[in-house]
Structures are given as structure tokens and as C-alpha cells.
A and B are shown apart, each in its own frame.
Chain A
């Protein structure tokens, strides 16, 4: 049985099959990333290589996205155990084969490539949670069921926190919550979950589960002047960079904060500060508009999905983007604590770029395989096999 047998694919031109808005937004973001990589690495020997590499990541990512978009996403729902197992295996394998950098084990070094499985883990979690909810007919009115769905993401989360990478772990929680919300989790439960998460966070602080640097980041977030040359330094310099950009920015390659190295991590987590400094409020505004366009297109794809799985996956992907953008931009502008979360599509890194492009590919696939016009009921189609 093929996908074509189940639903009648619209024998339409490419323009009907591809969500052009979504694809254009993603492509524009990638172009923006290449531009920012050019300016952020310009004149810096140590970083120069990252510019062509980022171009390569984007190019490969486009191929991956195209491939994924042509593939019927719905079949993925049938591979729940495989996907879940793959995720855990990749994350656990880090502790054996991963390479050490800055005191964290986050990468697999394969030739010239450094792959970061925690990035891919975000997608795998979206797929497995979506599959779980739909397949197990998870009743989101039942708190026990909700807890079970959370238990599902705990093992990958724990492995990621052990790397340690608190930021990505938080992305998983946010994504999970977004998907459950889309699945109909009651508002009061949403509130409850948020309160519980905050309580757990506080408890972690009290029990010193958080590492010193994580606590420092929180203290510095509350009062950046506590240690202006240490933990507060990044935050302070980032705010100066963005603020000094003004309305129009200092121009590409002309950011003094960037070029004189006041900005730390400028091609990765703090790339938004480079953008804010050199392109100003206008450039930053354009970026946020592109994100808005991307996310709203993603949600439109979700609402056109032919099945619940597609809708949930779309909701998960958009939640992931929204959380990452909010936390990263919030961090660089000083309204969120410093958390090592990259800016989707923009920050340097192959794993991150591919993850977001594959996510885009998934959305394109959902769109491609959307339900025919006029079909209102999501439930009529049962794209997954009975009983995994």
C-alpha cells in the first residue's frame, strides 16, 4: 500500500505542492544567515573558515529539506520505536564516542563534520511525541496520560542535560508543552505544567543541581553589574552592541563591538547582537518579521494537515522555533537569562541548520500531503498502521 493509494495526491503543479511562503521564508533566513556569517567572521582568521562552511551547510540542508518534503511524513509515525531508539542511541553514544569541547560532550566528529545529536533530538522528540499522542490516543484530559507523555521525553532530556546542555533540554520541554497544547491540553493544565516546571527549576537551584555557571547566569541576568568583567560581561557587551546599532545600524562589517571582539560567541549564540549592531532596529525587525512569516506559515501548514499527526508535528516545530527565537533574542537583549540556545537558521552550525531545514522539509511534506480541499474532518484519515 502506498501513500498514493490512501489519498489521492493532488495532480497539481509544483506551486500547489509546495508551500511557497514557507519555503521562501526559510530560504530568506538562510540567506540572512550567510550574510551575518560573512560579517561576523570577517577579518578574523580563527573564524574565517566558518563562512564557507555555513554556505555548505545551507546547500546540503536545502537538499535534505527537498528530500524530506517529497517524502510522506505520515509514514514516520509508524516508526515510533525505531525513531525513539535511534534518538537515545545517538545521545547515549556521545558518552562513548563523543568529542570533548569546552567541558561538554556534544559532538560526534566524523571527518570534517561535527554532528550534534541534540539538535536532531529535537526533531526526533517532535516526531515521537506526535506519534505517541496520536497512536496511543493519548487523552490529554487525563493528567496521568499527560505525565506519561512527559515521561517519554525524560530519557532524551536527561541524556542532553548530562552533556551538559540545559538550553536544548529546555527546548524539548517547551516543544512538548506546545504539542500537548495543540492536542487540546486544558488551559488550567497548561498553567499547572508551567507552575510545576518552575517549581522543579527552583528545587534544582536549591539542591544545587544546577551548575555554578548556570546559577551565575541567572544572578547576572537579575543584576548584570555584579560581575561586569566575568559572567555579566557577555550580556552587557551584547546589550551595548544591539543598543548602539540604533535605527539603521552601523553597517555591515562596521560594528565596533563585533570587530573589536567585545562580543563573545558572536557567530553562534550571540549572532543576533552582531545583527542588531550592524543592521540596527530595521535589520532586526526584518529578521523578526521573517520569523513571524515562517512560523505563521508553519501553523497554516499544520491546520491544513490531512491528519492529527501532521498538525501536531507542525505545532511542535513552530513551538521549537518560537521558543528558541524568544530565548535567544531575549537573552541578547537582556530580558532572558543567558542560555546557550542558538538562533534558528541564523547561528553558525551544520547540525542546527540541518535540523531547522529538515523541520522545514517536514512542514513542506505535510503541506504537500495535505488533505484535499473541502475535506474538513481530520479524523477520517488514519495514516498510521494499527498497533505498533
Chain B
């Protein structure tokens, strides 16, 4: 009974094979892991051990044309805590009490899923020093709380030019969709509107990064690499803070004055002052305005609601570039310009104004603003008195010229005067306005085909800047600047130069011509003269009574369905050697001659050294 087999040797040999095979398997596994896949595991190991922490860079400064700081930075302190703090209600309550931030806001920031889950969260920015001291001295009460230095925006002039400057805020989900922000992180402070947004790439510095080696518990051990943050570059604007101040004061004053008079609904408006020789914008105002400083550290919800409430007239809205208004009679230079250029009228063309105009048929009467009529008017009188009948005739003539073959000459002239397309100003959010034409009308009334055909009245309305035409105050003032400078349409500019953080000049923006008014020098001269007549003996006579400088301009009173009339005045001065063009629009402010023109005079008075006026003339013109 051999219980132990003779083949013990054989079996031991088999075990030997098993040993070799098993070790071979392990070795090939190692080959796969270390040699074939080694690099990807090496990357994972690096990922394990290294953390990149970014160091904020201060945004660039914004200066006015003389170098006065409009937007600066000041150091502030932020308090951060780890995200897990959210699970400790007692601690949250304590932080809320110490920092003056609501518990719900702290929780919201801690529970925000978007940022890196490992990073500490900022729960309060711009914390006052007493609160910071409390948190730092009582670490045992505020475990994990850390104080982080920050540079926050500072506005030495408060609300001045708030619409031009814009405001900053934390990158939002919406921003993140924008290609400009593709490389940004949540929590980054970015420009939201105005110059801050338009020049985000210039103002935003380059964040510094610190590459830190951490252990498995996340404790930082040493700095592996460090790159210093580079501050953003400085913008020097074309804005002159004194002109801006005066413009804002006049705009606000004009709105108040209109409200004190008959126009109780006057609550908003816009104004622009432009250098006629370069397109540089010296002042741009919109009312109501807002305090950009209120956005620091996240704007409180009630303030945000108020800023976006229709009853507040949208203070965040920059009416100078995003407000599209029927330009009313300020549009009339386009009509005469087109008329002269095409020969529809000559400088000697006269019309008889009886107040009522029935040239489109008795069933379609139209009225001049002066129901009693202007009598026989020539080119200059028509402009000076803003006689609508004269322009109706031009409009009707253009309609007839269009004929079967659709030429839409008038519209194409209007575009050559800079309407119906953005001016290209370096400011986010500019709108195109609208020059209505057949194609637009058909498209607009697609669902009600009975309104789709273009009618004579459409061209006639356009001739006085009414009906469907829309323009921004900036487009209008640019045309007046072009009339002043001999016909050149400049691209409006807000940024004059870009400086390195060191102050070294990096870029100077040059005046850019985007077009020419399509009229001959003689025709332009006649147009200029007629605009001088407006302030000398026409609709703006009273506003410019006794002014030392000759001003050329045009009043406008545009009708908006369901609202009081919008008051316009646009013009330039001094006529002998034109320097500045300006426009003021008062929404529901009444008549251009009474509500808007005096404010423009006062702006010119301040800039040129003339006498301002307190007059708010009664004026029934358009």
C-alpha cells in the first residue's frame, strides 16, 4: 500500500512550474502597469501631490483724459472658510453675526457646487477690520476661517460716469458661456458692463499661480513653483471728468426742470459730448444712474431688484448707446441732406405751409406742428422753424422716386449719415437703431399682411424722424459732429490710450473715419447755416439768447405712443471753429427747445467759458 506516490519528484517539479508561471504573471502585470502604463500613472501621482492655487491680480485702473483715477483699487479683506462649514449651523450663525452677512448667503456660497470642492469659499468680502480681528483672535470659535487679502474696486468720484465705467462682479453661469470667459474660473471678478466689460481682457491681470506639494491629508508641504500675478493694464479714457460732471448735472437738472413744469413723467434721459475732430467722447451720461460701488462683494438682492424694476426706469441701462428713440426733428438734417444730394430739392426750393398737408390725398391729412402754418418757407426757414410740411414734401418726393423699381434712396442716405447700424463705439451693448424700409416692414408685419406693404406715409414719417425710425443719442450726436467737421463720420471712442501697469504707454487709439456725409461742401455749408438759424432766430432762439458763442443745432420733439413727448437737442459749437458736439435727450420731457436746448447751452458754456442760462422757454415747436 504505497500511500505516498513515487511521483513526489514529479509533483515537486509541477510546483516548480507553478512557481515560474505565477511569478511570470505577476511580472507581466508589472510590465503592463509600470512600463506600458507608467506615464499615465506618473501623471496621476503628480495630480495627487500637486495643488495649484491662484493668486489674484489687481484689475487695471481707469483714468480720465487728464489721468484722474475714475476706477481704482483698494485693499480689502475677505474671509474664507472650508465648504464643510455648511454642516455646522452653530458656526454658520456665529460667522453671520461676526461678519454681518446673512446665514442664507453664507450657506448658499458654501453649497455652491461650481467651484473646486476642495477650495475654501469666500463668505464675505470687504470685511471691516474689527470683524477681521474678531475672527483672527478667536480662531477656536471660527475653525478653518482664514483672512485673504483682496483688491476691490474703488470709485473716487462715486456715481460719476457709472454707465461708461460699468461694474464688476463674480463670473456668472451666463458669463461662463461667453468665449471671452472660457479660461476663467468661478469666483473670478470680471467686468459686467461698460468699459469694465468691453476692455475686460486689458483690465484683467494675469493671475499668479503657486504650485504646492501637499500630503495625503491635503496639508501643504512646500512651494514647488510660483509665478507672480501681473496686474491688469491701465485705461486712459477720452472722458473729461469736469465735462462729465457738468453734463450729468445739466441732464439731471433738465429732467428736474421738465418735471417741475408740465411734464411730470420726465424721469430719464441721456447726454453725450463729443470732440468733433476725433470722435472722442468727452462725456456720456445716462439718467437715472447707479452706484457701481454697490456691486462689491455681490450686490444685495433688494438693491438688485430695485435696479431692475421698471418703476426705477432701469438705472443700469446706458441710454446713450442702448436707448433707441425716434430722433424726431433732430433727424431733419438727413432729410435735407438727402434731398439736396439727389436734387429732390435745391437751396432755393420753397414750399407753402398752411398747417394742414393733404398731398397724399384728402383722406390722409398730415399736420405741421404749427397748425396755423408757416406760410411760404425756404430751406433755411424750414430748418430754423422745423416746418414739417417742407419735409413731408421731400419724403413724398422720395417715395415717388422709389417707384416700381425699389431704390429706397432716402433710407440709403440715412445709413450714410450713420443711422441704422452701430457706431462701433468701444462700449459693450450698443444697439443699431433702425432705419425702416420695405423689407423690414414686411418682415415686422409678417403675421398681419395687411400692414406689410410700404406706404407713402412711411417715407413721409421718416422724413421728420418719426414713425418706425429709431436711433441712439450717440448716432445722432455723431452726425452733428460730422456736419460740424466738414462731413467726416468718426468712430466714437472712449479709450484714448492703454498703459502698462508701470505707466509705460502701450497703445494710443487713433481717430478712425468710418464714413463721409454724402453731400457736397456747398450743400453742407447751407445745412450748417440753417442749423445756426435754429439757435439764432428759430426754435432754440430763447435757449441761446445772449450766448457768447455761435451754436448750430436742432431741436427735436418726438412723439412716442402712449407717452409724453421726448425732448431732444443736438448741436455743436463754436460754429466758427467747431470743437464739440453735444446731445441731450429727455424722455417724456416735452419740447426740445425748452427742455433740452438750455442744458446743452449750459454744457457748452462750461466748456467754452460762456454764460449759462436759467431760461426754460415755453416752446411748442418740435
The answer to whether A binds B is: yes
- List residues of chain A with CB under 8 Å of any chain B CB: 133-134, 137-140, 178, 181-184, 237, 239-247, 256-257, 260-262, 276-277, 280-281, 284-285, 288, 291-292, 295-296, 299, 302-303, 308, 311-312, 314-315, 318-319, 322, 325-326, 329-330, 333-335, 378-379
What is the bound-complex CA distance between A308 and B7, given in angstroms? 11
**What is the CB-to-nearest-CB distance from B222 to chain A, in angstroms, rounded to a whole number?**
11
Chain B residues contacting A178 (CB-CB under 8 Å) are: 15
On whether the beta carbons of A240 and B48 are closer than 8 Å, the reply is yes
Q: With contacts A292-B20, A299-B19, A326-B22 known, is A239 near B33, CB below 8 A? A: yes
Contacts A137-B1, A299-B12, A314-B12 hold; do A257 and B30 have CB atoms under 8 A apart? no
> How many of chain B's residues have a CB under 8 angstroms from any CB in A?
45
CA A115 to CA B209, docked complex, whole Å: 51
With A138-B3, A260-B214 as known contacts, state yes or no: A239 contacts B15, CB within 8 Å: no
Nearest chain A residue, comparing its CB with the CB of B42: A244
> Do residues B44 and A244 form an inter-chain contact, with CB atoms below 8 A?
yes
User: Do B215 and A242 have beta carbons less than 8 Å apart?
Assistant: no
Contact A247 B35 (CB under 8 A): yes
A243 touches B44 (CB 8 A): yes
Q: Which residues from A are CB-within-8-Å of B37?
A: 243
In the assembled complex, how far is the CB of residue B318 from the closest CB belonging to chain A, in whole angstroms?
Answer: 50
| Cα distance, A284 to B31, chains bound together (Å) | 10
Determine whether B2 belongs to the interface, using a CB cutoff of 8 Å to chain A: yes
> Within the assembled complex, what's the spacing in Å between the Cα atoms of A184 and B9?
10
- In the complex, the chain B residue whose C-beta lies closest to that of A256 is B49
CA distance A296 to B14 in the complex (A): 11
**A184 engages B38 (CB within 8 Å):** no
Query: Which are the 4 A-B pairs with shortest beta-carbon distances?
Result: A243-B41, A184-B5, A244-B45, A246-B38
Complex Cα distance, B1 from A137, in Å, reads 9
Q: Which of B243-260 contact A (CB under 8 A)?
A: none
Nearest-neighbor residue (CB-CB) of B31 within chain A: A281
Binding site of A, secondary structure by majority: helix, strand, loop or mixed? helix
CB neighbors of A among B2-18 (8 A): 2-5, 7-9, 11-16, 18
Given that A242-B33, A243-B37, A247-B35 are known contacts, is A257 also in contact with B12, CB under 8 Å in the complex?
Answer: no
Report if B561 contacts A (CB, 8 A). no
Q: List 14 A-B contacts (CB under 8 A).
A: A138-B3, A182-B11, A184-B4, A184-B11, A237-B216, A241-B45, A243-B34, A245-B34, A246-B38, A256-B45, A256-B46, A257-B48, A261-B217, A296-B16
Residue B26 at the chain A interface, CB threshold 8 Å: yes
Q: Which residue of A lies closest to B215 (CB)?
A: A260
Taking CB atoms, residues of chain B closer than 8 Å to A322 are 15, 18-19, 22
- The residue from A246, A288, A333 contacting B23, defined by CB atoms under 8 A apart: A288
Complex: A295 Cα to B26 Cα, angstroms: 15
Q: How far is the CA of A143 from the CA of B9 in the complex (A)?
A: 22
Tell which of A260, A291, A292 touches B216, judged by Cβ atoms closer than 8 Å. A260
Q: Are A243 and B33 in contact (CB under 8 A)?
A: yes
With both beta carbons as reference points, the residue of chain B lying nearest to A329 in the complex is identified as: B26
- Contact call B41/A240, Cβ cutoff below 8 A: yes
Known contacts A181-B14, A261-B216; is A285 also within 8 Å of B3 by CB?
no
A319: contacting residue among B3, B15, B46, CB under 8 A? B15
Residues of B within 8 A of A139 (CB): 1, 3
Q: Which of A134, A182, A237, A277 has the most CB of B within 10 A?
A: A182
Cβ-defined contact, A315 with B34, below 8 A = no
Q: Which residues of A contact B40 (CB under 8 A)?
A: 243
Question: 15 more A-B contacts (CB under 8 A) besides A178-B15, A261-B217, A299-B15?
Answer: A134-B4, A240-B48, A243-B40, A246-B39, A260-B214, A260-B221, A262-B49, A281-B30, A295-B19, A315-B12, A322-B15, A322-B19, A322-B22, A333-B29, A379-B4
B275 contacts the other chain (CB 8 A): no
Docked pose: A326 CA to B27 CA in angstroms: 11
Do B4 and A308 touch across chains, with their CB atoms under 8 A apart? Answer: yes
A181 to B19, CA, bound (A): 14
Q: B27 CB to closest chain A CB, in angstroms?
A: 5
Q: Does B213 contact A (CB under 8 A)?
A: yes
Min C-beta distance of B26 to chain A, whole Å:
5
Contact A242 B12 (CB under 8 A): no
Q: Is the CB of B44 within 8 A of A184?
A: no
Cα distance, A140 to B2, chains bound together (Å)? 11
Cβ A280 vs Cβ B27 within 8 A? no
B547 to chain A minimum Cβ distance, whole angstroms, is 78
User: Least Cβ distance of B93 to chain A in Å?
Assistant: 29
Pick the most buried of A243, A280, A318: most chain B CB atoms within 10 A of its CB: A243
Contacting residues, chain A, for B26 (C-beta < 8 A): 288, 325-326, 329-330, 333
Instruction: State how many angstroms separate the Cβ of B511 from the closest Cβ of chain A.
Output: 59
User: CA A137 – CA B5 in complex, angstroms?
Assistant: 11
- Could you say which of B8, B42, B221 contacts A183, with CB atoms under 8 Å apart? B8
A276-B30 CB under 8 A given contacts A247-B35, A261-B217: yes
Complex contacts, B27 vs chain A, CB 8 Å: 285, 288
Docked pose: A257 CA to B43 CA in angstroms: 12
- Chain A positions within 8 Å of B30 at CB level: 242, 276, 281, 284-285, 288, 333
- The smallest C-beta distance from A376 to any residue of chain B, in angstroms, reads 10
Kindly provide the distance from the CB of A97 to the nearest chain B CB, expressed in whole angstroms. Answer: 36
Q: List, in ascending order, chain B residues with CB within 8 A of A280's CB.
A: 34
**B41 neighbours in A (Cβ, 8 Å):** 239-240, 242-244
